[in-house]
Structure 1
Amino acid sequence: MSNSTTSSAATQNSNPPSDTRELKKGSLAAFKGLAPFLKPYRKQFVMAAIALTVAAGATLAIPAAFKQMIDMGFGASAGVRSVEHVNTVFLVLFAVSAVLALATGARFYTVSWLGERVTADIRSAVYRHVVQQSPAFFETTQTGEVLSRITTDTTLIQAVVGSSISMALRNMLLFLGGLVMLFVTSPKLSSIIIGLLVLTVLPIVLFGRRVRKLSRDSQDRIADASAMAGEILNAMPTVQAYTHEHIETSRFASSVENAFGTAMRRIRARALLTMLAIVLVFGAIVFVLWLGAHAVLEGSMTGGDLGQFILYASIVAGSIGALSEVMGEAQRAAGATERLLELMSVQSEIQPPAQPLPLPPRAANGAALTLADVTFSYPSRPETEALSHLSFDIRPGETVAIVGPSGAGKTTLFQLFLRFYDPQQGTIRLDGVDIRQLGLHTLREAIGIVPQDTVIFSADAMENIRYGRPDASDEEVIQAAKLAAAHEFIERLPNGYKAFLGERGVRLSGGQRQRIAIARALLKNPPLLLLDEATSALDAESERLVQSALEAAMVGRTTVIIAHRLATVQRADRILVMEDGKVVEMGTHQSLVAMGGIYANLAALQFHNVHVVH
């Protein structure tokens, strides 16, 4: 059974609300969140900084060399040794170029390595964080959006760490160094150009904020399209059965067009920003150079001074243009960083204890399970009790069946056993220990589950069964398959146990997938086995085979069975009948039929020859 509230059971903090994204619109402060990923590579950053400084210094030395060449080779002071001066200057220029090439190559390699390394670390950290979230997170967060953040957003961060930061620092050094050399060359002209540049920066900064907002919106629309595609591709049989291919194609095309429209608004804004920056910056420089040309004509500057000033002005202007371009990329990556940090900030409500307790040594076959006054409401519907003041004991080695109408709380019980949720009241104890005092791995390693909705991974049959116990030998896997009545059909597959089962097991029938899942649980060999409609997808013959296998597997362990088909629970030691989150009847099949209550009515519907006692 799947409780009607389950699909909306996520807590408020398991997925950041959409308006949270809109709160962080300020600056590039989001990059502070990357500090933990950058700190381990301080040495590489220092190496990159050294290479960066050397390359910037070599670039700034080139205009000074040109000034010497012009004044001493062609100017009024040039004499018979002008050829020697020119030759010397060009040799120096070649040496500077060689230093520049080596430093640039070292910088490119180092920062590219940093970009790849940091991005790989971020992807691993985000994935590690996501897989530790409770089921509530995955019930409200689309898989496609998570994948978009892990792939697209981290790629943008890679561009920043592996290129943009380096380019920004390089151009910042060139800007500052060029500015200093402009003042050394001509304080008057430099003062004028600085005043003009300050007036140009303000509109560029203001317009840049709009670019950042559009960049964030563009990333969100791409994530929406990815999420929609992932959802539809996972439901293709249903889509095709209802002949909705054209409808879904149109929906996805509309989502893609929406993303394209947002991207084009971002691109137009960036193009206008670049155009504005170039016009304002170069307009100011051209005006100042016009003043310089007149100064040379008047004799207050040499030709070499003007040439040096022009080159340094070009360096300063080029660095400003490059910084505006890098700023656009950085703003886009800042939005991606915010999205990733939002994902990393999500904390599951189900947290392991600070000092987890161990399970006591097992004194009997199977685990003991105790519920004491357990009351639970899904966080999304706190006013509705999915379970109400539930108390019962399950003894080690006992087989207990739980039956009842849909919505009675049967599957909710299993979710609490696995601690996917915690009850608001009461305790659940495994072998006498409150499960909230156990480590999550300790608890879940003691439990095996065969869910109603079987999960088959994109791997071969051997690895799918071995998922129950990764260190199991091939022989143990085959033995588990035999117990689950899966061995024969696996042997008939092409390549047998090495046969690839397809994504989500599309190459298998429903009954075959179910038996793979049962074999996986049996291989795990836990003291507590949970069977959620474990034979629901089987035909009569397969059900008979699996039922006998399960009965053999139940020996030596505690088993809890959820079933709508009462034929699978008749031999249980006890049957609990649930309704509206409460146990309303308890007993064996025979005693419950004789009681003439809810179970007897269910039995009468399924077994026409059962006499219901009133």
Structure 2
Amino acid sequence: MRRGAGNQEDRPTSRQVGALGALWPFVRPYRLQVMLAMLALVVTSGISLILPLAARRVVDNFDDGAGLLDRYFGAALLIVAALALGTAARYFFVTRLGERVVADIRKAVYARVITLSPAFFERVMTGEILSRITTDTTLIQSVVGSSLSIALRNMLILAGGMAMLAWTSVKLMAMVLLIVPAILIPIILLGRRLRALSRANQDWIAASSGTASETLLAAQTVQAYTAEARSIARFDEVTEQSYGVARTRIATRAVMTAIVIFLIFAGVIGVLWIGARDVQEGAMTAGQLVQFVIYAILVSSATGALSEIWGELQRAAGATERLAELLSAEDTLVDPPHPQPLPQPLRGQIALQGVGFRFPTRPDAAALDVIDLTIRPGETVALVGPSGAGKTTVIQLIQRFWDPAEGRVTLDGIDLRDLARTDLRGQIALVPQDPVIFAASAAENIRLGRPEASDAEVQAAARAAHAHEFIAALPQGYETALGERGVMLSGGQRQRVAIARAMLRDAPILLLDEATSALDAESESLVQAAVNRLAQGRTTIVVAHRLATVKQADRIVVLDQGRIVATGSHDQLVAEGGLYARLARMQFTDGPGRQGDPALARTA
């Protein structure tokens, strides 16, 4: 996988529609619907093949009296009614099956992607994933819910029609067989080209969605830097690439359609010419010729329809491959086959033992360079250091978003790799530097910490985080939707909602990654008091730059370039001099009410 669509060759391609076989696990649970659809399909195909026989009898017995004709036309009306009912049944079962299968695929893809570790999202844009879940599944829905059944129906009509052609006139049938290879050759040759173009077109659509998603989510930043024109130009370029591939695909399919239609109808005209001569010479009846003509039309229509559907199947095969890539994506993190249970009650001792780590996208730079750190149960440890020192990396390793390349991270003496990730993260409450607020109500955003919490517990958590006042002032109070990414709230308000979420979770381990960075001085003092209460009796790790937070920690760990360069209390580290003392002096110089040292403000 990759972040864009610039290199089409790095995606595996299949030369046949066999890739659609990957849909079978999603179709299998609905075998009864498939059987009912197939039954309706066989019935309607059979009825279509009976109609020419009725037409022959009408023509050959036209002079045998009105009563016989009435019976023939009455029977034809019944046949048409059966055809209508069978077609309606086929549509119902097949279309419902398509909707059901696509819904299951979307659920399966989302359920797989949402569990993947951050390493996956470093390689694939979110917009591309969304394109696969929407655009690609729409193609599959079209195939499963329509094209596939139409293809099977036309294959039955083609096979039955060829048999009936042979029964009607072996001579004319032999001529038809001479035409078939000439029709199939362009379908096969141009069909392969169509499949490759369809796959490329879908890739560019995904890249276009990824580009749009990325810039729209950061629309204010784009506008603040007057980068609208560049964003538009970038999106236009990707969209035009998509259009260019689509134009080539459309032209190829148009050429194939023209060739196939010409060969089909030229062959039919030739066969009709010979058949008409045979009727003149008495070698066959007019009814037989009419019957043969209708069967020839059915066969030619079925062949033409199959050539059209073949292109759709090829596009769906490409879409299926792309979705299968997501479903089979290998995660760099896996839970052990038999996870070790966490001790109850959990003490909360965290240890990093000889931990070394490099991000996959930056293998030449060590994010952490063999560090040892033990955090005792109930201890509050502050991580301090300049940008890129490795502070947030430590937080991520403790949550097991990454595994260390060297050493190990343990919780109460158990290697995190021996635990189920859901068990581990269920014991952790996180307040990130940039809190995520969902487009849901304030209550639902706080309840993310503990979904089963009551309204009273949600409000108690909000009060403890000093968020109750501004939430209660919203138009619908706690039921007010906060908008995408919490656009209705200020930065400090979003932070307090995140703190309320962590308080509601009531986990034994608390991770605070710049939890007060977006707060003004008054809000910071209120929230700091709430955080202090929250941290009591919990193992707490704080990434912070403000001395109000750092000074109250039991221990301060100073990181620089992935190494621990100093450990101690605030007074000890200031007395020792070094990096911490320099950073502290810079913050004191700025003044106690200011944001503090820029080097500390930018966290890793």
TM-score where L is the length of structure 1: 0.93
Q: Which residue of 2 aligns with 1:65?
A: 54
Q: Which residue of 2 aligns with 1:6?
A: none
Q: Which residue of 2 aligns with 1:276?
A: 259
Do the aligned partners of 2:384 and 2:545 also contact (CA within 8 Å) in 1? Answer: yes
Do the aligned partners of 2:119 and 2:360 also contact (CA within 8 Å) in 1? Answer: no
CA distance in 2, matches of 1:24, 1:236: 36
SS in 2 for 1:516: helix
Give how far 1:500 is off.
1.9
Give how far 1:219 is off.
1.3
1:42 aligns with one of 15, 22, 31: 31
Amino acid in structure 2 at the alignment position of 1:403: V
Do the aligned partners of 2:3 and 2:125 also contact (CA within 8 Å) in 1? Answer: no
Which range moved further: 576-585 or 384-393?
A: 384-393
2:111 aligns with one of 128, 143, 150: 128
Q: Which residue of 1 aligns with 2:353?
A: 372
Residues 198-237 of structure 1: matches in 2 within 5 Å?
198-237=181-220
Once the two structures are superposed, residues 232-255 of structure 1 have per-residue CA deviations (whole angstroms, 9 ceiling, x without a partner) of 110111111122233323332333
Amino acid in structure 1 at the alignment position of 2:23: L
Residues 518-529 of structure 1: matches in 2 within 5 Å?
518-529=499-510
Residues 144-293 of structure 1: matches in 2 within 5 Å?
144-293=127-276
Q: Which residue of 2 aligns with 1:491?
A: 472
1:140 aligns with 2:123: yes
CA distance in 2, matches of 1:16, 1:322: 32
1:551 aligns with 2:532: yes
CA distance in 2, matches of 1:140, 1:86: 71
Give how far 1:483 is off.
1.4
Do the aligned partners of 2:5 and 2:203 also contact (CA within 8 Å) in 1? Answer: no
Give how far 1:52 is off.
0.6
CA distance in 2, matches of 1:234, 1:112: 35
Do the aligned partners of 2:346 and 2:412 also contact (CA within 8 Å) in 1? Answer: no
Give how far 1:467 is off.
0.8
CA distance in 1, matches of 2:151, 2:93: 15
1:97 aligns with 2:86: no
Give how far 1:457 is off.
0.4
CA distance in 2, matches of 1:61, 1:560: 79
Change (3 A) 1:255 1:164: same
Change (3 A) 1:443 1:13: farther
Do the aligned partners of 1:461 and 1:490 also contact (CA within 8 Å) in 2? Answer: yes
Amino acid in structure 2 at the alignment position of 1:352: D
Which range moved further: 337-346 or 444-453?
A: 337-346
CA distance in 1, matches of 2:230, 2:367: 37
CA distance in 1, matches of 2:5, 2:212: 22
Change (3 A) 1:384 1:516: same
Q: Which residue of 1 aligns with 2:597?
A: none
Q: Which residue of 2 aligns with 1:9?
A: none
CA distance in 2, matches of 1:545, 1:388: 37
Give how far 1:132 is off.
0.8
Change (3 A) 1:21 1:172: farther
Which range moved further: 109-118 or 590-599?
A: 590-599
Change (3 A) 1:527 1:20: farther
1:386 aligns with 2:367: yes
CA distance in 1, matches of 2:275, 2:157: 22
1:55 aligns with 2:44: yes
Q: Which residue of 1 aligns with 2:587?
A: 606
Change (3 A) 1:511 1:567: same
Do the aligned partners of 2:268 and 2:296 also contact (CA within 8 Å) in 1? Answer: yes
Change (3 A) 1:517 1:255: same
Give how far 1:192 is off.
1.1
Give how far 1:15 is off.
11
CA distance in 1, matches of 2:207, 2:465: 41
2:21 aligns with one of 32, 43, 47: 32
1:416 aligns with 2:405: no
Once the two structures are superposed, residues 576-610 of structure 1 have per-residue CA deviations (whole angstroms, 9 ceiling, x without a partner) of 11112111111111111111122111111112499
Q: Which residue of 2 aligns with 1:297?
A: 280
Do the aligned partners of 1:593 and 1:600 also contact (CA within 8 Å) in 2? Answer: yes
SS in 2 for 1:607: helix
CA distance in 2, matches of 1:163, 1:271: 21
Give how far 1:166 is off.
0.5
Amino acid in structure 2 at the alignment position of 1:91: G
Give how far 1:363 is off.
6.2
Do the aligned partners of 1:14 and 1:137 also contact (CA within 8 Å) in 2? Answer: no
Do the aligned partners of 1:14 and 1:136 also contact (CA within 8 Å) in 2? Answer: no
Identical aligned residues as a percent: 52
Q: Which residue of 2 aligns with 1:508?
A: 489
Change (3 A) 1:18 1:445: farther
Give how far 1:22 is off.
4.1
1:594 aligns with one of 571, 575, 590: 575
Do the aligned partners of 2:8 and 2:200 also contact (CA within 8 Å) in 1? Answer: no
CA distance in 2, matches of 1:125, 1:15: 23
Q: Which residue of 2 aligns with 1:462?
A: 443
Q: Which residue of 2 aligns with 1:362?
A: 345
Give how far 1:20 is off.
6.2
Amino acid in structure 2 at the alignment position of 1:592: L
SS in 1 for 2:408: strand
Residues 105-120 of structure 1: matches in 2 within 5 Å?
105-120=88-103
Q: Which residue of 1 aligns with 2:428?
A: 447
Q: Which residue of 1 aligns with 2:309?
A: 326
SS in 2 for 1:373: strand
Give how far 1:273 is off.
1.4
Give how far 1:84 is off.
2.6
SS in 2 for 1:521: helix
Give how far 1:264 is off.
2.1
CA distance in 1, matches of 2:457, 2:7: 48
Q: Which residue of 1 aligns with 2:596?
A: none
Amino acid in structure 1 at the alignment position of 2:109: V
CA distance in 2, matches of 1:466, 1:17: 42
Do the aligned partners of 2:512 and 2:543 also contact (CA within 8 Å) in 1? Answer: yes
SS in 1 for 2:545: coil
Q: Which residue of 1 aligns with 2:566?
A: 585
Change (3 A) 1:363 1:249: closer
Amino acid in structure 2 at the alignment position of 1:499: T
Once the two structures are superposed, residues 235-289 of structure 1 have per-residue CA deviations (whole angstroms, 9 ceiling, x without a partner) of 1111111222333233323333332232222222222211111101111111011
- CA-based RMSD: 1.8
Amino acid in structure 1 at the alignment position of 2:35: V
Do the aligned partners of 1:15 and 1:137 also contact (CA within 8 Å) in 2? Answer: no
Which range moved further: 310-319 or 208-217?
A: 208-217
CA distance in 2, matches of 1:71, 1:471: 78
Q: Which residue of 2 aligns with 1:573?
A: 554
Which range moved further: 209-218 or 148-157?
A: 209-218
Do the aligned partners of 1:376 and 1:387 also contact (CA within 8 Å) in 2? Answer: yes
CA distance in 2, matches of 1:342, 1:484: 43
Do the aligned partners of 1:377 and 1:386 also contact (CA within 8 Å) in 2? Answer: yes
Do the aligned partners of 1:410 and 1:578 also contact (CA within 8 Å) in 2? Answer: yes
Which range moved further: 205-214 or 403-412?
A: 205-214
Q: Which residue of 1 aligns with 2:331?
A: 348
Once the two structures are superposed, residues 331-369 of structure 1 have per-residue CA deviations (whole angstroms, 9 ceiling, x without a partner) of 1111111111112221111101100011111265xx111
TM-score where L is the length of structure 2: 0.95
SS in 2 for 1:73: coil
Do the aligned partners of 1:532 and 1:563 also contact (CA within 8 Å) in 2? Answer: yes
Which range moved further: 148-157 or 577-586?
A: 577-586
SS in 2 for 1:34: helix
CA distance in 2, matches of 1:102, 1:489: 61
Which range moved further: 444-453 or 370-379?
A: 370-379
